[in-house]
Amino acid sequence: MVLLLFNLLFSAAVPAKPALALTFTTTQFTNNDYSDVQPQINDNGWIVWQRNQIEVLLYNGTTTTQLTDWGTFPQINNNGWVVWQGFGVKPYLDIFLYNGSTTTQLTDNDFVDLYAQINDLGQVVWIGWDGHDYEIFLYNDGITRQLTNNDYDDWAPQINNNGWIVWFASDGNDYEIFQYNDGIVTQFTDNDYDDFSPAINDHGWIVWDVGEFFLLYDGNNTTQIPNNSAGGTPQINNSGWVVWHGGDVNNEIFLYDGNTTIQLTNNDYHDHAPQINNNGWVVWYSGGGGVESEIFLTIPSTFISDYGFDFPVGVPDGVGYYDSLPFLTPHPYSCGVVPHPGADFNSTECAGCDKDDPVYSVSIGTIEYAAWAGKGFGRLIIIRHDAPTGKAYVLPDGGSTTVVRSLYAHMSSISTNPATGAKWAVGDSVSRGSQIGTVGDYPSGSGKAYHLHFEIRKARLSPTFFPCGKTKAWIRTRYLNPKRFINMNRHLQ
């Protein structure tokens, strides 16, 4: 059943948002005699792309591996899983999934399946021919479902990490945007012009093309992206940054940072298919004029959206986790009953299902501690978060501060810093959403009680300090309710 969601509220101006001055560093990622096209990048800086039109390659921050010699349009998630379209035994395009170790063919039928997308939950969406027209299909936990069944072609599905899907299709008059959420299909736009090529971020923000320009829905209002003449398919990250190619006859790369539109390239070649991760890194391919296509990467300086906060597991919203021991809940320890100074994040699926799940930095910051801290804390990381000049973090008690520290305990491993190739260490700068470790057990090595112990400290304490014998009032002056603090500081204003 298709329901009309709303009529678009349109205004030509985008409200100004705070931003820091941006600079960009651009590098040529590939340099060979092949044609390298269709790059994708995840939040760890891993890149997957298509070489010689039919080979899929994966760069994992250290080495490059060829995943298949017959695949096109690869996509990658933050776990390093890759999907693409390619040929199996039958002479029809099918969907394939690489899960970090093995490749599985997800479809095997007498029809064409195209343009697969994958999220961090391992859900895969694509369009497939059903004998009459192209429909939307979803693969989840080993089961494939057909989400649409109508008399029109459904095109270009995109899926976010909450499992929300957007695409465009005809409503009988023109192209409109449709959305799938919690088992329900809704018509997102309803107007007298064509809406196509939508993209969605994890907050449910949607950007799309209307032919003359792009529109951006930020959860409340729909606005036109400024200084934009529509070009290639727009892409959006969780900070609301949008990238696309367009402009002059050669095609250049453009980025909208929430305030202004910035031209990233200016050359005599054709720049195509930019993709952006949640750290603001952009990849694209460039070529033409007799020059083989190569992959390029640009990395921005710090931007203010980095200073907001996400959850450390199930990013960005803690999906798939619950707090098994909320802030200040009395709990027995070896030193007596103590009000819990943080949150214990556990998998909602089952006890132990979160073993070795990724742990992410909740915001931009500098690592102050990263080491084995004994069986009680396990592998422990503490990150200092400084608000940018002139800004402050809002506190649950109504006050504010310019500095907090996040603590991640009981981890089974400390991850590799992609910038250094070594494990995260004291002094390293970390981005919002960077993987810093994996969920471990408590006590460390016991194989029991897998969870992430997480704290937000407003006072500087020794790394392994635990408030034995302290009252709730004492703890409130030095610790913050971590879930409330994150939710109050999702978008720093």
Print the SS3 string covering 130-143: CCCCEEEEEEECCE
Cis bond before residue 300 (omega within 30° of 0): no
1: Cβ contacts below 8 Å, ≥ 6 apart: 184, 185
Sheet of 47-51, strands arranged across: 36-41, 47-51, 55-59, 64-68
Q: Which residues of 396-414 are buried (b: 16+ CB within 10 A; e: fewer)?
A: beeeeeeebbbbbbbbbeb
> Which helix (H) or strand (E) element contains residue 392?
none
Cis bond before residue 418 (omega within 30° of 0): no
Report the pLDDT value the prediction gives residue 396, as an integer from 0 to 100: 86
Report the pLDDT value the prediction gives residue 248, as an integer from 0 to 100: 63
* Low-confidence residues of the chain: pLDDT under 50: 1-20
Report the pLDDT value the prediction gives residue 130, as an integer from 0 to 100: 86
Q: Provide the token pair at 19.
A: 């931003």
pTM, two decimals, is 0.63
Report the pLDDT value the prediction gives residue 279, as an integer from 0 to 100: 80
The single-letter code of the amino acid at 431 is S
Neighbours of 192 (CB within 10 A): 6
What's 306-488's CATH class? mainly beta
β-bridge pairing 291-300 and 282-288: antiparallel
- Return residue ranges of the chain for CATH 2.70.70.10: 306-488
Helix, strand, or coil (residue 177) = strand
The single-letter code of the amino acid at 150 is N
Distance CA 474, CA 472 (A): 5
Contact 165, 138 (CB under 8 A): yes
Q: Which residues of 141-177 are buried (b: 16+ CB within 10 A; e: fewer)?
A: eeeeeebbebeebbbbbbbbbbbbbbbbbbbeeebbb
Q: Provide the token pair at 35.
A: 């044609």
Ranges of H-type helices in 147-200: none
φ/ψ of 370, rounded to 5, equals -155, 100
Q: What is the DSSP string of 223-284?
A: EEPTT----SPPEE-TT--EEEEESSTT-EEEEE-SS-EEE---SSSEEEEEEE-TT--EEE
Task: Say how many CA atoms lie within 13 Å of 142 toward its Cβ.
Answer: 0
Distance CA 375, CA 444 (A): 5
φ/ψ of 466, rounded to 5, equals -135, 135
Residue for token pair 């994150």: 486
Ranges of H-type helices in 40-111: none
Dihedral class, residue 211 (left if φ above 0, else alpha if ψ from -120 to 50, else beta): left
The single-letter code of the amino acid at 470 is K
Report the pLDDT value the prediction gives residue 12, as an integer from 0 to 100: 30
Helix, strand, or coil (residue 328) = coil
Contact 360, 435 (CB under 8 A): yes
Q: Provide the token pair at 454.
A: 């997480």
Distance CA 468, CA 334 (A): 9
Q: How far apart are the first and last CA of the chain?
A: 39
Residue 484 DSSP symbol: H
Distance CA 381, CA 429 (A): 13
Residue 416 DSSP symbol: B
Report the pLDDT value the prediction gives residue 455, as an integer from 0 to 100: 98
Distance CA 297, CA 284 (A): 7
Cα of 452 vs its chain's centroid, Å: 20
**The CATH number of 2-305 is which of 3.40.50.300, 2.120.10.30, 3.50.50.60, 3.40.50.150?**
2.120.10.30
Report the pLDDT value the prediction gives residue 2, as an integer from 0 to 100: 30
Distance CA 49, CA 36 (A): 7
Residue 183 DSSP symbol: T
Sign of the Cα pseudo-torsion (397, 399, 400, 401, in order):
negative
To 10 degrees, the CA torsion angle through 400, 403, 409, 413? Answer: 140
β-bridge pairing 2-4 and 184-187: parallel
- Return residue ranges of the chain for CATH 2.120.10.30: 2-305
